[in-house]
Structure 1
Amino acid sequence: MTDCQGVAEGASTPMELYERLSAQGEKVRSLKSAKAEKAEVDAAVQLLLMLKMDYKQMTGQDYKAGCPPSDNVGAPNNGPAADGTGEEDTVDPWNVSTTNANGVDYDKLIVRFGSSKIDKELVDRIERVCGQKPHRFLRRGVFFSHRDMHQVLDAYEKHKSFYLYTGRGPSSEAMHVGHLIPFIFTKWLQDMFDIPLVIQLTDDEKYLWKDLTVEECHRFAIENAKDIIACGFDLNKTFIFSDLDYMG
């Protein structure tokens, strides 16, 4: 059993789990106020997220501080995977599927992939540190989790240098809106922090995994680069490269 499994053991009723959740939430706030080590804070947050998932599974309701569960609360009937006996959500670079009638459980994804939830506290800090309104993708929850964003903001406040890195696997001549969303957000990050950006085009990977020739993959990389450039990145601070060109 991992540290993130069975976190609700010993909490046999919704009220007991609610009380444990309240205590864990207070612990997270205390650690943050005391500026504890990042690893300690992250571990406490991960446990809090797991407790919230257990609470929702037990009560059918989202946990809300100061709102204890009622006596007659019960777990909901959410469809084929609601009882936990169905398959896990499948989320990888190629597939997204779920057997749950409510759709993909993003809180579980955050725990599985070891990221942290983008909460209002983080969005407010971005606005405070950068002096401008956070991107609508943050305000509307399109981007819902992160790794080390607080560390990035710390570096920015201390005027330490860093850079952005992202990429694209070119498998078609043109990029659609879904492909462009990360680049639209990256453009905003570059403008906000005024920093360099590296964009890797993995045309070699597409040659290995797709039924495409080397020439087709390289041509797609060039065409996709045009779409990326059209997002308006700073030409003096952006480096785009093809694996086939730079890595053979």
Structure 2
Amino acid sequence: APELERKSSQESSSSSEKGDVITPWDVSAEAATGVDYNKLIVRFGVKKITDDLVDRLERLTGKRAHPMLRRGMFFAHRDFSQILDRYEKGEPFFLYTGRGPSSRSLHLGHLLPFFFTKYLQEALDVPLIIQMTDDEKFIWRSDLTVGESKKMTKENMKDIISVGFDPEKTFIFQDFEYMCPPFYENIVRIWKYVTGNQARSIFGFIGEDSMGKAAFPAIEAAPCFASSFPHIFKGRKDIGCLIPCGIDQDPYFRMCRDVAPRLNSPKPSLIYSKFLPALQGSQCKMAASDANSCIYLSDTPKEIKNKINKYAFSGGRPTVEEHREKGGDCEIDISYQFLTYFMEDDQRLEEIRLAYSSGQMLTGELKKIAIEEVTRVINEMQSRRVSITDEVVDLFTSVRPLKYTF
């Protein structure tokens, strides 16, 4: 219900009982095991993704669910079942996700939603819209010029395209370069229907913040509406939207869901991911501002090996003897956590969990496996990225109809 969504939005910018902080700009957890996602489900008013929902997705698409969905990395949703209803009835909808450029190269945490979105695009066979919020980063970072933000965005787009999206089904745009009249009209409508008090309670803005910060959320919300892209959806307002994203982005879209009826459009549905932890531990997520906390797409195999060996927080015991006796703690071990995201073989992952938690496998052995898996993922991305030229970027960003008829 809208009232619940508004209430939850107000809570989103504050700390939880345990000290967890989850906002679009800051994520930190008090416990060594990371964010308490069960409490977050209650606090944000979202629904947990159940086995029944995953089974229904597999049944409708005829494809096995993505490992990150089967293992609970994508853990919560808003109205995902309604998207499956649309799919079952043959009613149109599209995918929408995005990225705010914060470094010249994306890191693994940035890439997770895109890996999952690629699976959704292939399984559901629907159009995909990717927004690059270069304007947001310029507003929030005092050290950044417009030109620098646009350059970072171009590099980030090449990283994203390297995931393997289909250019016939994908439109990528950066805010500084795409703003057609219907898109701007939707932004202005959102501005009109969301009060300053609502924006402050949802996002925590204060009087010293620039006016641009208060104005920006409408720009991220506007792509939820098909009418913002007339070259693709021909002005239709009845087309649904599914947004895969991190749970920290929820405040934007709860606001959007509140105003959707006033734009004569369906409320967007969302499917939320957990955070990929920093190398130093699950109390914070990977951050581009700290090179030692993350694995970049541009890292070499040697850099990946050194970072994991040196910085990856271990769930092992202080001595080999104690580790053999008591076993390691997979819940706080970053090398194991990385494997849960990137190792495709469920049986092998379970074997590793049992071996490490029983003390049979030592931390050094676990780190070696994690290094191999992460290096494999990065190498595959880098091999594809070599062929992503400026012309390829121009293809994805050109204003054109996609493969679908509306």
TM-score bracket, shorter-length normalisation: 0.5 to 0.7
The residue identity in structure 1 corresponding to 2:96 is: Y
Say whether 1:218 aligns with 2:173. Answer: no
After superposition, residues 117-156 of structure 1 pair within 5 angstroms as 117-156=48-87
Post-superposition offset of 1:97: 2.2
Q: Which has the higher contact order (CA 8 A, sep 6+)?
A: 2
2:43 to 109, 112, 135: 112
Q: Is the partner of 1:128 in helix, strand or coil?
A: helix
Which residue is 1:169 aligned to? 100
Q: TM-score, normalised by structure 1?
A: 0.63
- The 8 Å contact of residues 171 and 206 in structure 1, kept in 2 or not, is answered as yes
SS of residue matched to 1:163: strand
Residues 159 and 208 (structure 1), Cα distance of their counterparts in 2 relative to 1, 3 Å cut: same
The Cα of 1:92 is off from its aligned counterpart by 1.5
Report SS of the residue matched to 1:124: helix
Q: Which residue of 1 aligns with 2:120?
A: 189
In structure 2, the CA distance between the partners of 1:100 and 1:205, relative to structure 1 (3 Å rule), is same
Equivalence map 1:1-20=2 (5 Å): none
Cα distance in 2 for partners of 1:104, 1:197 equals 29
Counterparts of 1:213 and 1:116, CA distance in 2? 40
Letter in 2 for 1:237: K
How big is each residue's C-alpha offset from its partner over 1:170-210, in whole Å with a ceiling of 9 and x where there is no partner?
A: 12111011100000000000001111000000001100101
**For the structure 1 residues 103 and 241, does the alpha-carbon distance in structure 2 shift closer, same or farther, using more than 3 Å as the test?**
closer
Asked if the contact 1:86/1:99 (under 8 Å) is kept, the reply is no
In the alignment, residue 173 of structure 2 is paired with which amino acid? F
> Distance in 1 between the 2:17 and 2:88 partners?
46
SS of the residue 2:129 aligns to: strand
Report the AA paired with residue 101 of structure 2.
Answer: P
Residues 185, 101 of structure 1: CA spacing in aligned structure 2 closer, same or farther, 3 A cutoff?
closer
Write the distance in 2 (CA, Å) between the matches of 1:171 and 1:135: 27
Letter in 2 for 1:177: L
Give the direction of change, closer, same or farther, for the CA distance of 1:216–1:102 in structure 2 (3 Å limit): closer
Aligned pair in 2 of structure 1 residues 192, 105: CA closer, same or farther (>3 Å)? same
Among 177, 187, 191, the alignment partner of 1:245 is 177
Deviation at 1:101, TM superposition (A): 5.5
* Alignment partner of 1:227 out of 155, 159, 170: 159
Q: Tell me the distance in 1 between the aligned counterparts of 2:132 and 2:105.
A: 14
Q: Is 2:40 the counterpart of 1:99?
A: no
Question: In structure 1, how many angstroms separate the alpha carbons of the residues matched to 2:69 and 2:51?
Answer: 9
Give the Cα separation in 1 of the matches to 2:158 and 2:34.
Answer: 35
C-alpha change, 1:102 and 1:245, in structure 2 (3 Å) is closer
Give the RMSD, CA atoms, in angstroms.
1.9
The code of the aligned residue for 1:140 comes to R
Q: Which TM-score applies when normalising by structure 2?
A: 0.39
Per-residue deviation at 1:96? Answer: 2.2
Structure 1 pair 178/159, CA: closer, same or farther in 2 (3 Å)?
same
Any unmatched runs of 5+ in structure 2? 5-15, 181-406
Assess if the C-alpha contact under 8 Å between 1:201 and 1:240 holds in 2: yes
Distance 2:66 2:83 in 1: 16
AA of the residue aligned to 2:172 = I
Q: Which residue does the alignment assign to 2:248?
A: none
With over 3 angstroms needed to count, the CA separation of the structure-2 counterparts of 1:167 and 1:102, relative to structure 1, is: closer
Q: Counterpart in 2 of 1:180?
A: 111
* Aligned partner of 2:138 among 207, 219, 225: 207
Once the 2 structures are TM-superposed, how far is the Cα of residue 102 of structure 1 from its aligned partner? 5.0
Matches within 5 A, 1:28-43: none
Q: Relative to structure 2, which stretch is displaced further, 108-117 or 177-186?
A: 108-117
Moved more, 100-109 or 85-94: 85-94
- How many angstroms does 1:113 deviate by? 1.7
Q: Deviation at 1:110?
A: 1.0
Structure 2 Cα separation of the partners of residues 175 and 92 of structure 1: 20
The 8 Å contact of residues 169 and 203 in structure 1, kept in 2 or not, is answered as: yes
Distance apart, 1:217 and its partner CA: 0.2
The size of the alignment, in residue pairs, is 166
